[in-house]
Structure 1
């Protein structure tokens, strides 16, 4: 459910950002462009249009919307403060949002099968009770009235709960973090593309906040400093190198997400073997054995 809402929010932010970039590129002022976009009824765009009309901080309105809008707000604030071309900047963040959406979709598809398998197998111990009844054993009576059966019921129930929580934790850990990979490098690239100094760019990028997921060191401070040093030594624009770093961060995020989804199938075997199968034995096999023993006169 949360993943679905995040995907919808990312799509809304991407659509609005790309439309705004087109309108600004056509020559509209930011206030007028926001007003036109707000006519579509998006609540965040309406708030941003009102702020732009009053001359207030539009980035603050976007930041308060949360989710993906926080990423847009960071880049928007840096572009306005640095004096970078707003239309080109929004196209850049739009492309980054699109890449992030594709990464999230790829990983969700890859996670769907092992997650569904884990949910299905979690019902295996519970289905053992009606299975025993179908075979002619009074498994319910054994589990409720027999002391050993009651112990099996409690132990099996605890193992079922533990298995579900364990599998849910593994699936949640395999999901990609929220945010746009490589956003820090994008912030630096936007700032430096306006022709400001490195110190000023550092101030703006720091003030915008680090809102990207810590997927790798490619967009960390050390990597950015290394890219800046390379640009100085090579005599090339640092903004282009930083945009390349941002693209590589998104590429790594996609690769790492698919790898995590592939590993999930193996990791889910651990709660299956440690919890689900023992729970099936306690709720299905042991009560049937107890029923046979009791029917044969064994105390």
Structure 2
């Protein structure tokens, strides 16, 4: 956003990057050096990671079509901020069920210490075949539960792709007056992957509506991008709700039996050994 303000104030591109590079950020320093030499600033930005790659895509499209850099950066930063908030909302919604499941996964390990605290002497029992078998089975179930829980959480994690970003890039390209085909080709090239069918359908619907009614295609595309981010937030929260239910499966199938095998079985065997066998 600071770069957009500097460019709006009439500061040249190399000077603007040079001012920003005074903070010492490696990516900004590299971008300033490349801008000073008249090179590809987008290539320097891509080396900075995910967020910088998205800024690089907007910059590259704007440079390719001659779109106003200040306006492009403002709209791009706004879209990135919204997308970041969507991702944060989804991660917060997922954090509670995942943290609860992970705590419960390791809870059976307290079975043996609890038995010792109660004076049931389960440690002596686990040196015998039946007790040792119960402990090994319990530890195996804990491992299965941990892997199962982690895979469920990984599948529910939000995508690293920014919702609606393809539409934003097409809007940036169209803002300079290029053809629709050229705008879509530039956006696809910067994304590096083929957009999902639903994304392509949303962009196509916005462009078709613009042609049919004469409404500004850029505004329609940015509206489509906003709707994509809203859908991503809703779907993320629904995924978190479903995850809470799915995490009950490893809890019931693995964690509870593991607690019985590690806590209850050695304790019961210890009681039997100390009361029944001496008789």
TM-score, normalised with respect to structure 1: 0.88
Alignment partner, residue 256 of structure 2? 277
Shift of 1:115: 2.2
1:226-272, CA deviations, whole angstroms, 9 ceiling, x for partnerless residues? 22121111112211111111111111111111222222222211111
Alignment partner, residue 146 of structure 2? 164
Alignment partner, residue 54 of structure 2? 71
Alignment partner, residue 86 of structure 2? 103
**Segments ≥4 residues shifted beyond 4 Å:** 210-214
Q: Of 132, 150, 175, which residue of structure 2 is paired with 1:193?
A: 175
Alignment partner, residue 133 of structure 2? 151
Alignment partner, residue 202 of structure 1? 184
Q: Of 212, 236, 240, which residue of structure 2 is paired with 1:233?
A: 212
Preserved contact between residue 181 and residue 213 of structure 1 (Cα < 8 Å): no
Shift of 1:199: 2.1
Q: Map 1:5-44 to 2 at 5 A.
A: 18-44=1-27
Range with bigger deviation, 277-286 or 254-263: 254-263
Shift of 1:46: 0.8
Q: Of 82, 87, 104, which residue of structure 1 is paired with 2:70?
A: 87
The reply on whether 1:173 has 2:173 as its aligned counterpart is no
For 1:211 and 1:22, locate their aligned partners in 2 and report how far apart those are by CA, in whole Å: 31
CA 1:180–1:213 in 2, change beyond 3 Å: closer, same or farther? farther
For 2:174 and 2:207, locate their aligned partners in 1 and report how far apart those are by CA, in whole Å: 10
CA 1:210–1:250 in 2, change beyond 3 Å: closer, same or farther? farther
**What is the root-mean-square deviation of aligned Cα atoms in Å?**
1.9
Unpaired segments ≥5 residues, structure 2: none
Range with bigger deviation, 231-240 or 115-124: 115-124
The reply on whether 1:297 has 2:277 as its aligned counterpart is yes
For 2:56 and 2:31, locate their aligned partners in 1 and report how far apart those are by CA, in whole Å: 11
Aligned residues: 278
Shift of 1:78: 0.4
Q: Of 74, 85, 107, which residue of structure 2 is paired with 1:124?
A: 107
For 1:32 and 1:102, locate their aligned partners in 2 and report how far apart those are by CA, in whole Å: 31
Preserved contact between residue 188 and residue 195 of structure 2 (Cα < 8 Å): no
Preserved contact between residue 103 and residue 253 of structure 1 (Cα < 8 Å): yes
For 1:257 and 1:228, locate their aligned partners in 2 and report how far apart those are by CA, in whole Å: 27
For 1:213 and 1:171, locate their aligned partners in 2 and report how far apart those are by CA, in whole Å: 25
CA 1:222–1:190 in 2, change beyond 3 Å: closer, same or farther? same
For 2:120 and 2:194, locate their aligned partners in 1 and report how far apart those are by CA, in whole Å: 57
Preserved contact between residue 153 and residue 283 of structure 1 (Cα < 8 Å): yes
Q: Give the 3-state SS of the residue equivalent to 2:23 in structure 1.
A: coil
Q: Give the 3-state SS of the residue equivalent to 2:18 in structure 1.
A: helix
Shift of 1:188: 0.5
Shift of 1:69: 1.0
TM-score, normalised with respect to structure 2: 0.94
Q: Of 67, 81, 96, which residue of structure 2 is paired with 1:113?
A: 96
Shift of 1:105: 2.0
Preserved contact between residue 180 and residue 213 of structure 1 (Cα < 8 Å): no
